[in-house]
Amino acid sequence: MEANKKERMHPCLGITSSCGTFEKRDFFILIFPGAFTSDRLLICTVIHEMAHIENEAKAKKNLPAHGTQFKKAGRALIKSVETHRSGLPERFRDTKLDKKFILTSSCGFEEE
């Protein structure tokens, strides 16, 4: 219900959330239907949200959503995906990543 409310207020492709205490949290990602319009948009959305998890999991305090640590996590994830493409599901192996989209917000995604 909370995700539906957020989606109506500000359309987005995915959100990351957590539950538990600051010291011991579980993270989860919600991917909205708009992210499924192409393989490229879907994988870039998932990587973007994974960067949020890494950013939050390593933080000792609240950090900006798309700050320096988020970008560092995003770049590391991009490098890992590009280095280990054979580990991806087959349909994503040749998908070109939109690095600008992954390292910023969901605004401005351009389909090729």
The one-character DSSP state at 14 is E
Give the domain ranges of the chain. Answer: 2-103
List the structure tokens of 35.
Answer: 């992210």
- C-alpha distances in angstroms, 99 versus 11, 15, 24, 47, 67? 21, 18, 30, 10, 15
Cα diameter, the chain = 42
| N-to-C CA span, the chain | 33
pTM: 0.79
Write out pLDDT tens, residues 50-108.
Answer: 998 888 877 767 777 788 889 999 999 999 999 999 999 999 999 999 999 999 865 54
8 or 18, greater pLDDT:
18
Count other Cβ atoms within 10 Å, centred on residue 100.
11
